Amino acid sequence: MLGSDVVPQLFFLILTLTLPFSAAYHVGVNYGTVANNLPPPHQVVNFIKTKTNINHVKIFDTNPDILAAFSGSTEISLTVTIPNSDILSLSKLPNARSWLSNHLLPFLPTTSISYIAVGNEVIATSDKTLITHLLPAMESLTLALHLANVTGILVSTPHSLGILSGSSEPPSSGKFRNGYDKAIFTPILDFHNRTKSPFMVNPYPYFGSGPETLNYALFNSNDYVFVDPVTKMNYTNMFDAQLDAVYSAMKRIGYGDVDIVVAETGWPSAGEPNQTGVGLDYAAAYNGNLIKHVNSGKGTPLMPNRVFETYIFSLFNENLKSSVSEQNFGLFKPDFTQVYDVGIMKTNKV
Ligand SMILES: *[C@@H]1O[C@H](CO)[C@@H](O)[C@H](O)[C@H]1NC(C)=O
Ligand SMILES: *[C@@H]1O[C@H](CO)[C@@H](O)[C@H](O)[C@H]1NC(C)=O
Ligand SMILES: *[C@@H]1O[C@H](CO)[C@@H](O)[C@H](O)[C@H]1NC(C)=O
Ligand SMILES: *[C@@H]1O[C@H](CO)[C@@H](O)[C@H](O)[C@H]1NC(C)=O
């Protein structure tokens, strides 16, 4: 794909060879557990540590067995998630303090936790009570961490791209949904700016693509595919376009400098027989190209050279998810064999 770009390719090679590997590795995984056939957490941790280059893991809960399994593996940083159903209660400081004491403090500092994700895609629920308590819960948890003298854990919440209004093309036109920008996102982004925590988003080119944009979604376009008429920037992949639409929305209300973390993205390796653009080759192309793109450090057209810590969804195929495609987002099968190769194993360095 980079065939004609010999110079950047050489530069990337030199960079990768001279920097410690971890310094150039920004890709993590979501370790989801909606399955009845997964190996026990200690085997999973041992596998991640000894066999893969993965150094960031996100989980969808604060399962104590998983937190205990990561004890002593401080080279892997964890993001834990608070279920949406706890947000209301955690908006009160005393509840946030006892939640912290019960769920996380017992595992610190031997388990390395970098982020607490407060809920998942809360805005997409359209539940007004939940949405109005989201930021108060993030504030309470931040204060609870401070009162417990815990440093190094930042609080955030992952958003679906449904937070943007209408079409996110061109990327420069990205803005938050009407009525949500000032009321919801200005205070949330002000919180991120104050606490130096990242804005988390879940972009899925898989859901945004059709037959004509499949190669664009898979990072397989050789030439420019889309020119933003306002900025004149060339987009060769949908991932960059989606991130730049988010960036434009943030910048429009004054917070273009807040870090972005890609909390989920991925592509299924199997689906219903009538689904197009789903399969092993597509999933391998998306995730393989994504990893190269993120680790290249080149950023996006509107955010050159910015690095986005990116969590692939997901670590395992999860057999209790509700549809065939949802069951097949995993990089690995429950027996630890690769569903397809994306160069994430230790033996595949460079
Ligand atoms: C936090 O640190 C302060 C100052 O060192 C100390 O007075 C306080 O007891 C500590 N609190 C906890 C919960 O450890
Ligand atoms: C975008 O691509 C066109 C056509 O290849 C090229 O002329 C233009 O300079 C490119 N723009 C940028 C900003 O790279
Ligand atoms: C973000 O925080 C910086 C200080 O770190 C401050 O200078 C800046 O004004 C803040 N941005 C907004 C939009 O409040
Ligand atoms: C695809 O097949 C499933 C059943 O396997 C069906 O529920 C769905 O409506 C079909 N979708 C299309 C677009 O034909």
Is 4 near ligand 2, meaning CB less than 6 Å away?
no
- Is the C-alpha dihedral spanning 184, 189, 192, 195 positive or negative? negative
For 107-132, write each residue's pLDDT tens digit. Answer: 999 999 999 999 999 999 999 999 99
Residue 288 CA to ligand 2 centre (angstroms): 26
Residue nearest to atom 3 of ligand 4 (CA): 272
Would you state the pLDDT for residue 221?
87
Pocket probe mutation, ligand 2, options 4, 221, 223, 234, max atoms within 8 Å of Cβ: 234
Which residue has better confidence, 23 or 37?
37
Query: Ligand 3: which of 190, 192, 193 to mutate, most ligand atoms within 8 Å of CB?
Result: 193
Q: How large is the average pLDDT for residues 145-171? A: 93
Active centre residues (catalytic): 121, 264
Confidence of residue 5 (pLDDT cuts 50, 70, 90): very low
Average pLDDT estimate for 297-308: 96
From residue 167, alpha-carbon distances to 163, 176, 177, 234 in Å are: 11, 11, 11, 18
The pLDDT value recorded for residue 240 is: 97
Flag whether pLDDT at 7 surpasses 60.
no
Residue in the structure block whose two tokens are 């998810």: 321
Q: pLDDT tens digits for 64-98?
A: 999 999 999 999 999 999 999 999 999 999 999 99
Cβ of 229 less than 6 Å from ligand 2: no
Domain ranges of the chain: 18-209+239-328
What per-residue confidence (pLDDT) applies to 350? Answer: 47
Is the distance from the beta carbon of residue 323 to the nearest atom of ligand 2 less than 6 Å? no
Quote the mean pLDDT of the chain.
92
Find the 162 Cα to ligand 3 centroid distance in Å.
26
pLDDT score at 347:
79
User: In this structure, how many other beta carbons lie within 10 angstroms of the beta carbon of residue 218?
Assistant: 27
For the segment(s) 18-209+239-328, the CATH number from 3.40.50.920, 1.10.260.40, 2.140.10.10, 3.20.20.80 is 3.20.20.80
Range of lowest pLDDT (12-26, 122-136, 153-167, 289-303) = 12-26
Q: What digits encode the pLDDT tens for the residues 259-276?
A: 999 999 999 999 998 888
Ligand number nearest to the C-alpha of 304: 2
pLDDT of 24 reads 59
Q: Give the pLDDT of residue 12.
A: 42
